[in-house]
Chain A
């Protein structure tokens, strides 16, 4: 019984130590040597499609239901990039809004028709419990986002 108890204490101490690391890692820890500015990705997006990048910024929004995406602010006013992860594989907590994050993943290009864009925005609004007016969408558009493989959120 004593051995079992000592083992349990050791397990919990180690568990505690592992969570005390700087920042919380979701998925694979970002490990690229250089960071890419979000503004650089948006200025020449086609150059980055299919490439793995590591970005840094403030988490400005998180999927409220599944935690399956988050938006990270860019280095320029009004800029943000969506980080999409596989449902259930990585779950970003909504409590991380406003926290700094380093994210790694592959840049994706999504081409939406007007109808597809309305549907996507409608779905997002439903998830976030916000309002969406379809008349604000005038045409389709190309969206660039990151298919996230991992993030460290501080």
Chain B
């Protein structure tokens, strides 16, 4: 091995190690969020939504046309003043609170209380993975991607000998590359 080659390998090892430490936390955040978001068909990855069905007394039809019907409903259900109100129809009202949405049917007395709560940890990691902060976070995520690519490339070329890319390494590398290639062949239109 030439002196120059030796220097390059030492340089790669040093930076591979330090960058590895530096982005370990971020990699774990993206990995956790990746699994959560990957199963979006089965669940909401960031929020838990629960609905409780209850039965309340109905409100006489004669009162439905009252100007203060919103307040009448709120008082009838013994609730606090909502943030917003939406009339779905003459008999269906939706009341919005900070973490709750309440649907009430004046005619039938059906009451549905929907509670939306952030999933601990997942809400936070998805916030970053899905780039909700935008602006500077976009750059942070781009730099993270570049550093990941550096780890991958340096990881492939920095090991020499029989376990390196010149030996067993290239076959393991090809096996990894084959996974997306097989999916492209089988499923890509």
- Listed in ascending order, the chain A residues whose CB lies under 8 Å from chain B are 11, 14-15, 18-19, 24-25, 58, 60, 64-66, 73, 77-78, 80, 91, 93-95, 97-100, 129
Partner of B51, one of A78, A80, A129: A129
Known contacts A11-B140, A65-B43, A66-B40, A60 near B86 by CB under 8 Å: yes
The 10 closest A-B pairs by CB, nearest first: A98-B96, A18-B135, A14-B136, A98-B84, A15-B136, A60-B86, A77-B87, A58-B84, A73-B86, A19-B133
For the complex with contacts A25-B134, A95-B47, A97-B101, 14 further pairs of A-B residues with Cβ separation under 8 Å are: A11-B140, A15-B133, A18-B134, A24-B132, A60-B86, A60-B94, A65-B41, A77-B87, A78-B89, A91-B130, A93-B47, A94-B47, A95-B116, A98-B84
Is B27 in contact with chain A by the CB < 8 A criterion? no
Q: Across the interface, do A64 and B87 meet the contact criterion of CB distance under 8 Å?
A: no
A99 to B9, CA, bound (A): 55
Number of A-B contacts (CB under 8 A): 63
Instruction: Quote the shortest CB–CB distance from B182 to chain A (angstroms).
Output: 24
6 of the cross-chain contacts (CB-CB < 8 Å) are A15-B135, A15-B136, A18-B133, A19-B132, A66-B40, A78-B88
In the complex, residue of chain B having the shortest beta-carbon distance to the beta carbon of A66: B40
In the complex, residue of chain A having the shortest beta-carbon distance to the beta carbon of B98: A98
**1/0 per position for B48-91, CB-CB distance to A under 8 A?**
01010000000000000000000000000000001110111110
**B side interface size, CB within 8 A:** 32
In the complex, residue of chain A having the shortest beta-carbon distance to the beta carbon of B42: A65
Instruction: Quote the shortest CB–CB distance from A108 to chain B (angstroms).
Output: 22
- Listed in ascending order, the chain B residues whose CB lies under 8 Å from chain A are 40-41, 43-44, 46-47, 49, 51, 82-84, 86-90, 94, 96-97, 99, 101, 116, 118, 130, 132-137, 139-140
A80 to B49, CA, bound (A): 22
Instruction: Quote the shortest CB–CB distance from A19 to chain B (angstroms).
Output: 5
Instruction: Quote the shortest CB–CB distance from A39 to chain B (angstroms).
Output: 14
A19 to B140, CA, bound (A): 15
Q: Across the interface, do A98 and B133 meet the contact criterion of CB distance under 8 Å?
A: no
Instruction: Quote the shortest CB–CB distance from A112 to chain B (angstroms).
Output: 20
Instruction: Quote the shortest CB–CB distance from A120 to chain B (angstroms).
Output: 18
A43 to B99, CA, bound (A): 34
Instruction: Quote the shortest CB–CB distance from B70 to chain A (angstroms).
Output: 11
A120 to B83, CA, bound (A): 30
A4 to B46, CA, bound (A): 31
Q: Across the interface, do B40 and A65 meet the contact criterion of CB distance under 8 Å?
A: yes
Partner of A97, one of B44, B88, B90, B116: B116
Of A73, A80, A98, A129, most buried by chain B (CB within 10 Å of CB) is A98
A91 to B83, CA, bound (A): 23
